[in-house]
Amino acid sequence: MWQIPRDIDLVVGVPRSGMLAAEMISLYLNVRLSDVDSFANGRIYSVGETRSDSIQMGHINHVLVVDDSINSGMSMSHVREKLQPLQSEYRWTYMAVVASSEGVHYVDISMLIIDDERIFEWNLFHHGYISRAFLDMDGILCEDPTEDDDGERYNLFLETAKPRFIPTVEIDTIITCRLEKYRQQTELWLSKHNVRYRHLIMLDMPTRDARRKWGKHGEWKGLHYRRSGCILFIESSSSQARQIASSSGKPVIDFESDTLLVYPKMPLRRRIKRKISRLSPTLFSIIFHAKER
């Protein structure tokens, strides 16, 4: 917040996700809020009953325009064009919370420079990465089952499970440890809730008890993920997320702890070295440090 001028009279957010940052800043500064289109048409937001100020458009001098991120600068250029008729009436400061090295030149203030590929929590399920991602089902697309009796009550859950996060982008692969015998119910639920996907991988085992005895849920998911061309996995279980990341060597979003896990796949020589060093530090020293001796 120290980077933002203290004489701001109005914060104007860039819809849609720029409004998240704009609203937080307006609250911290205790000033009024609007969005780009509303302000271009002479409107600012009203306030609740706990606020007694009655600022008018004529009392505004300095306007802060806020977006959550800027990459190429194209979106901010469009915003400036919309506000061009008002340029001579106010002082303007433009900012983005996150900027690329290219985009930073289109704003006056940026709080973080990130040139790598990035994805934000608030647009995770609307991002193009979803079309190159594996998604867990229970706990992500729908609620987790409260109980699995492998019978009547579980069938009812499969039909009536409440949706959690429904992506607006086609998913590459949905992978679930639901048993293959429940494919029809699962596909019907996905269709009912307009979930678009290319592949649905289910566990081919006869019973719930056989699945529990087997117990390699994360490793199984990680194997399918590793063999795919996908670049992201979104998993609801922290323990499985760690197993998936470890076995695949690819990025995994652990949704339970809100963490991105990246366990790069080690070359074979390094994996052998690590294993030997754990089994016998003395043997490790002899084999891999012989040259130094």
d(CA 235, CA 228): 16
Compute and round to an integer the Cα radius of gyration of the chain. Answer: 26
Instruction: Quote the number of domains for the chain.
Output: 2
Range of the domain at 150: 122-261
Q: Identify whether residues 42 and 159 lie together within a single domain.
A: no
Per-residue pLDDT tens digits for 220-252: 999 999 999 999 999 999 999 999 999 999 999
Which tokens go with 119? Answer: 């994805």
Average pLDDT, the chain: 88
φ and ψ at residue 148, rounded to 5 degrees:
-130, 95
Q: Identify whether residues 126 and 256 lie together within a single domain.
A: yes
Element (H, E) at 181: none
pTM (two decimals): 0.75
Mean per-residue pLDDT, 97-124: 91
Q: Identify whether residues 255 and 176 lie together within a single domain.
A: yes
d(CA 12, CA 25): 10
Q: Are 234 and 255 in contact (CB under 8 A)?
A: yes
Instruction: Report if residue 268 sits inside a domain.
Output: no
Helices (H) and strands (E) in the chain, counts: 10, 11
Q: Identify whether residues 147 and 94 lie together within a single domain.
A: no
pLDDT of the residue at 117: 78
Mean per-residue pLDDT, 116-134: 90
Instruction: Report if residue 217 sits inside a domain.
Output: yes
